[in-house]
Amino acid sequence: MLRRAFLVFLVGVVVCSYSGGDSARAAETSPGDPVIKKVAALAVPPRKGAAFKNLDPAYKRASYFARLHSFIVGGTWLVPERRVSALPAAVPDLQALRDNHHEATVTWIGHSTLLVQLDGVNFLTDPTWAGRSGPFSGLVGVRRYTPAPMRMEDLPPIDFVLISHDHYDHLDEPTVKRLAQLYNPRFVVPLGIKAWLADRGITNAVELDWGQSIAFKGLTIVCTPAQHGSGRTLVDQGRRLWSSWAVLGSQRFYFAGDTGYYKHFKEIGDELGPFDLAALPIGSYTPRETAHPVHISPEEALQASTDLRAARFIGIHWGTFMLAREPYDEPPARITAEVARRKLDPEVVWIPKPGETLPW
């Protein structure tokens, strides 16, 4: 128990402290690289030295001490009996996913991982198939309690992968390496992550700043702001950019990554909306004093969906890893209550089962 506690403590120090190393290295370009365009009048991230900052001038992360204290005192690792159980899963129709070349669909794999199909193009958001999310390829870290509903090998061919930021639960090293081997997808990432991928032998990548876009197989992919942070070790905090993403084709999709609530949602909605589907995180919002700047609550997620002018909402980033301090099944209950309070149509707010495919 002590050994385990120490390991998790170490992970906590690493995970909770946030920042970035090889990151600020300039991106290398080669003739095969896609043309990067500035399509959106969106803000660029402020910078301080080698670190990226958030847009909100009043943004203030809880102190390092407060985060460490919260981690040690309130950590899920201190409460081994903390109740979690695997979410009931749906069995995905693998053949239908492979045969689908027209319909827009979304399948929740778990946490922030979605398989999205749009205009015959298949892509993943923040893919993780990890059984444990953390450093050393998941040797230590937070346990996954809801298994992925399908194997990476059973996915339809993946054309591209969106990464929102470098935290372990969003950028899983074994997962991205395996996906690169299986499908050689184009990794579309925020500034700084291209070099991280290249260091691991993954070279089919393009990195973008907020407001930059590329065209890919008939779709336009736009890097959009988020309010969060980055870092995988004590020394790389803020060095790689964090972002959300818009994918525009015959329909318009938005992926929020990890984020606190800020006016960037409204600005993205005004500039690139309305969206047909917005994927927003609904878990990891406690303890509020440390989570608030960097993680939206379920209620804020619904407000963000309105700001984005999204016709449909899908709640993600919950029910998968032992990351959150709130009861594991609280986010959907709070969404349901907020949908009723706001008199929203429950049909357009989706909290799918892992493995469930929805047309949008």
* Tokens found for residue 134: 């953390």
Minimal distance, residue 317 CB to Zn ion, in Å: 6
Nearer to Zn ion, 45 or 156 (CB): 45
Nearer to Zn ion, 34 or 174 (CB): 174
- Give the per-residue contact string, 156-195, with Zn ion (x = CB under 5 A; - = no): -----------x-x--------------------------
Give how many residues touch Zn ion by CB under 5 A. Answer: 3
C-alpha span between 217 and 202 (Å, rounded): 20
Nearer to Zn ion, 167 or 194 (CB): 167
**Residue 172 near residue 136, CB atoms below 8 Å:** no
Give the angle 177-179-182 at the CA atoms, nearest 5°. Answer: 110
Minimal distance, residue 28 CB to Zn ion, in Å: 26
- Give the per-residue contact string, 204-243, with Zn ion (x = CB under 5 A; - = no): ----------------------------------------
Nearer to Zn ion, 167 or 292 (CB): 167
Nearer to Zn ion, 273 or 283 (CB): 283
Minimal distance, residue 2 CB to Zn ion, in Å: 28
Nearer to Zn ion, 168 or 360 (CB): 168
C-alpha span between 104 and 253 (Å, rounded): 10
- Could you tell me which residues come within 8 angstroms of residue 343 by beta carbon, excluding any fewer than 6 positions away? none
C-alpha span between 92 and 97 (Å, rounded): 8
Minimal distance, residue 129 CB to Zn ion, in Å: 16
* Tokens found for residue 177: 């390496």
**Residue 70 near residue 63, CB atoms below 8 Å:** no
Closest CA to 240 of 15, 24, 16, 14: 24
The long-range contacts involving 79-82, CB below 8 angstroms and separated by at least 24 positions, are: 82/322
Nearer to Zn ion, 249 or 283 (CB): 283
Widest pairwise Cα distance in the chain: 55
* Sole residue written with tokens 């958001």: 125
Minimal distance, residue 161 CB to Zn ion, in Å: 16
Minimal distance, residue 30 CB to Zn ion, in Å: 30
Residues 238 to 277 in contact with Zn ion, rule: CB under 5 A: 258
Minimal distance, residue 9 CB to Zn ion, in Å: 19
Binding site for Zn ion (CB under 5 A): 167, 169, 258
